[in-house]
């Protein structure tokens, strides 16, 4: 089990945000990506073939044109394949409905609805609509997402429907994605006065935090100190969340930051997620829009084990902006 809250979404994984999306409607609460079946959810980040062709062929484009999508934006679409098994040789996407909301742009993090079918038999393998859940997708311009999808999304507006197909092992999966709204990149709410004895936080114009270390001894117990109070959804145990974070040791030494890594960090099933215990305990009960200071004692962090830049028996300090929960 991965115990660290800090990792960068790798290009080879083709955007783990889609795994978070369909995990929102899964019965599997293990926090790991599910293998696509008729009863679990699809994870193109885990199953798409990174060794396949980089560019869709004319035949792939023509094949996707024959996929029929029925249903208005805002409702679960019906995806009908022209025949089964259905296949493409590379990722390919097209706009079904362009949308009538704000324009989607490169770098936007979107709240999305997503439905997927298996190209082998056309059966639904996952849908966020079924549990009234949503997911997230960050539109990338550097090739770290799904270029065919991202290139199409930036031609649309909120409320659009985009159909796309991915190669998954020897099987093709077909998706309809609908961007619902844009997710902010930072906490938004009322500032809370700092507490004496804790590290202090200053924010750059874009919201990126800088920590100034406290001078006294580290607290023995978990501290969850609000810095900004948001007014959004309360984070409940089992929710999937999207956060920005900045992590440092008690002495102020920075060891990781999503702000530096370039995109927010998704956590699946908070409370039992594959992150350190201090995150699982400290983030349940926060609200979307909150910024919180977490001071995490060693027993809720890495205990007596070193981890990359973190020495054994370290007290950890995080500034966490809660951007989204579902």
pTM higher than 0.85: no
pLDDT for res 213: 97
**Least confident interval from 53-57, 82-86, 162-166, 313-317:** 53-57
Beta carbons of 324 and 183 less than 8 angstroms apart: yes
Going by C-alpha positions, the residue among 110, 164, 114 that lies closest to residue 139 is 110
DSSP calls for 128-181: GGGGT--EEEE--SSSSS-HHHHHHHTT-BTT-EEEEEEEETTEEEEEEEEEEE
Which structural domains are found in the chain, ordered by start?
11-183 (3.10.50.40), 190-325 (3.10.50.40)
pLDDT digits (tens, 9 = 90+) for 230-275: 999 999 999 999 999 999 999 999 999 999 988 899 998 999 999 9
**134: confidence class by pLDDT, cuts 50, 70, 90:** confident
pLDDT digits (tens, 9 = 90+) for 13-64: 233 344 444 444 333 333 322 211 122 223 333 334 444 456 899 999 999 9
The predicted model gives 284-289 an average pLDDT of 98
Mean pLDDT score across all residues of the chain: 85
pLDDT > 90? residue 10:
no
pLDDT for res 53: 54
Return the top range by mean pLDDT from 15-19, 46-50, 108-112, 281-285.
281-285
**Least confident interval from 7-11, 167-171, 206-210, 243-247:** 7-11
Rounded to 5 degrees, what are φ and ψ at 218?
-70, 145
**89: confidence class by pLDDT, cuts 50, 70, 90:** very high
The predicted model gives 148-171 an average pLDDT of 94
The predicted model gives 209-227 an average pLDDT of 96
Beta carbons of 230 and 189 less than 8 angstroms apart: yes
């Amino acid at each position: 089990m991965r115990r660290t809250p800090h990792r960068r979404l790798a290009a080879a994984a083709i955007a783990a945000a889609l795994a978070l999306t369909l995990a929102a409607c899964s019965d599997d609460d293990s926090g790991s990506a599910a293998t696509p079946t008729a009863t679990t959810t699809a994870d193109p980040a885990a199953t798409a073939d990174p060794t396949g062709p980089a560019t869709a062929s004319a035949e792939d484009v023509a094949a996707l044109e024959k996929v029929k999508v029925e249903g208005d934006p805002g409702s679960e679409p019906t995806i009908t394949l022209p025949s089964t098994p259905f296949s493409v040789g590379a990722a390919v996407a097209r706009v079904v409905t362009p949308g009538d909301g704000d324009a989607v742009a490169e770098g936007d993090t979107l709240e999305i609805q997503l439905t997927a079918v298996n190209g082998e038999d056309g059966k639904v393998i996952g849908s966020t609509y079924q549990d009234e859940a949503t997911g997230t997708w960050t539109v990338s311009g550097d090739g770290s997402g799904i270029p065919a999808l991202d290139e199409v999304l930036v031609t649309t507006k909120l409320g659009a429907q985009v159909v796309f197909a991915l190669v998954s092992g020897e099987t093709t999966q077909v998706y309809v994605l609908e961007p619902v709204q844009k997710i902010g990149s930072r906490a938004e709410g009322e500032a809370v006065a700092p507490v004496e004895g804790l590290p202090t936080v200053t924010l750059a114009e874009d919201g990126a935090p800088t920590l100034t270390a406290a001078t006294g001894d580290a607290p023995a117990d978990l501290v969850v100190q609000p810095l900004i109070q948001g007014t959004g959804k309360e984070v409940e145990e089992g929710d999937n969340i999207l956060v920005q974070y900045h992590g440092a040791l008690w002495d102020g030494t920075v060891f990781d930051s999503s702000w530096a890594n370039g995109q927010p960090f998704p956590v699946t099933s908070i409370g039992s997620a594959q992150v350190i215990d201090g995150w699982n305990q400290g983030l349940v009960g926060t609200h979307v829009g909150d910024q919180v200071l977490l001071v995490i004692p060693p027993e809720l962090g890495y205990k007596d084990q070193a981890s990359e830049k973190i020495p054994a028996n370290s007290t950890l300090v995080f500034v966490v902006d809660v951007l989204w929960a579902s």
